[in-house]
Structure 1
């Protein structure tokens, strides 16, 4: 257990662990339900990730599913069919979307470790994670239209931007599922693990590389990347990040630590970000 400055929210649906003092591993713990998410689960996840963003000791989060079959099969449709649609937690997602991730802006990076099916909202979650590692047995799809719904948690615009209109249309309109290798070829995943058992470890290895850089630089760089993804103008995207973070970055302690360590050819000893 790392030396946390604050304690995480309690949760009935997610198991929290810490592979290193700077990395949070959030496991969807509903394997008998294919890690589908009931309405309350989205709010729990959003609360956990808000805490993650504010907890100084943590730098990267990983989300995965319990068991061998599913990362997440999406919304709990059995519950959904009986829930009366109304404002609030009983019948809606938080503003950050499915699993608190699919529409999340956030501050710190999240890596998906996809251990099996990533369907519907499970796939939409992956599409808005910062990086994705997939088991060789993982599959990805947006089957919502086949049950009279549509991918409303942010997945449609994100998959178009990631895969292009034509592949995105085939996935969303025909129910085509992508294998892990196909997802890799369409830039949906960063890495396909050699074995199903290796997927979380590979995600931790990737997270450790991110956690090794300046916490301030990670926040600012991530913001710049996402501004470029979301904005139509390169100039606007660059200006938004500069206006928000440049002064704080250069006035911060980690900038001084990094420059001094470079001059001394030493390993920098970062401090928690104050950005």
Structure 2
């Protein structure tokens, strides 16, 4: 890549810490450990702006989402929900979520991949964020749940159809209709967890290593490949999916500087020197 740091500052975050553990990688750490990283409404809007900034930052290619302390994210801050019922907030948007969903993530479309590094409980909206991440790495202590039905609610941030699509109606029904906690091992079996880290302590290191693998690739190829995968996941017909991906990316990708550089590097038996993507 031609530059190693973002060219513009990220939007301010009220409840998350930002860092750059490696060139082209953004690390987002939800930072309400005393509340198990349950998110207030302001955080959804802040994070939505952050993911848009990440997608538009030419030097960033991969993001990692994790939580501070012992939890990944315990869902919505229900204390704030109750307080809003007693006294409506000054800004109406602080009672709801942006179109991109819980944490700006659960309904996010986006251009670039996000890895969830699940260090503890991922309940409610926290689990729904994981279900829309591109890759999920769980620590041995990770727990997943959709407990909304136990509180007279339902998982409304997009997680139900994604869970059915990935795990099947029977498994999704067991998870959502019981509200029970699901272990990382069950997540592996039920296809919403990619891998379990070797230990609690190595989770973030393993997520960053995986991020580096992706970040070494052509930025054009990562964006186009992710787009094709998302089209396949979200559209019904195989032919329609193939045609849409081809229309969106093929002309821009083939003959672009990164493709020519990738071929030249292969022929020259050297590492490619990528430039920022124009996709």
Shared fold (TM-score, shorter chain, > 0.5): yes
Instruction: Give SS of 1:83's match.
Output: helix
Residue 195 (str. 1) matches residue 199 (str. 2): yes
Q: Which of 163, 169, 176 is the matching residue for 1:165?
A: 169
Q: Partner of 1:19 in structure 2?
A: 21
Q: Which of 60, 68, 71 is the matching residue for 1:66?
A: 68
Instruction: Give SS of 2:154's match.
Output: coil
Q: Which runs of 5+ in 2 are unaligned?
A: none
Q: Partner of 2:277 in structure 1?
A: 273
Residue 112 (str. 1) matches residue 116 (str. 2): yes
Residues 14 and 42 in structure 2, CA contact (< 8 A), matched pair in contact too = no
Q: Which of 27, 31, 40 is the matching residue for 2:33?
A: 31
Q: CA-to-partner distance for each residue in 1:133-175, whole Å, 9 max, x for gaps? A: 0010000010011111111111000001111100100100111
Q: Partner of 1:218 in structure 2?
A: 222
What does 1:127-146 align with in structure 2 at a 5 Å threshold? 127-146=131-150
**Structure-1 separation of matches of 2:203 and 2:143:** 14
Structure 1 residue 266 displacement after superposition: 1.3
**Structure-1 separation of matches of 2:127 and 2:52:** 21
Instruction: Give SS of 1:132's match.
Output: strand
Residues 73 and 121 in structure 2, CA contact (< 8 A), matched pair in contact too = yes
**Structure-2 separation of matches of 1:22 and 1:35:** 26
**Structure-1 separation of matches of 2:256 and 2:9:** 25
Structure 1 residue 180 displacement after superposition: 0.7
Q: How many residue pairs are counted as aligned between the two chains?
A: 274
Residues 46 and 96 in structure 1, CA contact (< 8 A), matched pair in contact too = yes
Q: Partner of 1:81 in structure 2?
A: 82
Structure 1 residue 2 displacement after superposition: 4.3
Instruction: Give SS of 1:40's match.
Output: helix
Is the alpha carbon distance of 1:2 and 1:267 closer, same or farther for their aligned partners in structure 2, counting shifts above 3 Å? closer
Residue 50 (str. 1) matches residue 55 (str. 2): no
Q: Which of 178, 202, 211 is the matching residue for 1:207?
A: 211
Instruction: Give SS of 1:90's match.
Output: helix
Structure 1 residue 83 displacement after superposition: 2.1
Residues 261 and 267 in structure 1, CA contact (< 8 A), matched pair in contact too = yes
TM-score normalised over the length of structure 2: 0.95
Q: Which of 115, 122, 137 is the matching residue for 2:126?
A: 122
**Greater Cα shift, 143-152 or 245-254:** 245-254
Q: Partner of 1:156 in structure 2?
A: 160
Q: Partner of 1:186 in structure 2?
A: 190
Structure 1 residue 88 displacement after superposition: 4.8
Instruction: Give SS of 1:126's match.
Output: helix
Structure 1 residue 4 displacement after superposition: 2.0
Residues 5 and 24 in structure 2, CA contact (< 8 A), matched pair in contact too = no
Residues 24 and 61 in structure 2, CA contact (< 8 A), matched pair in contact too = yes
TM-score normalised over the length of structure 1: 0.97
What does 1:238-257 align with in structure 2 at a 5 Å threshold? 238-257=242-261
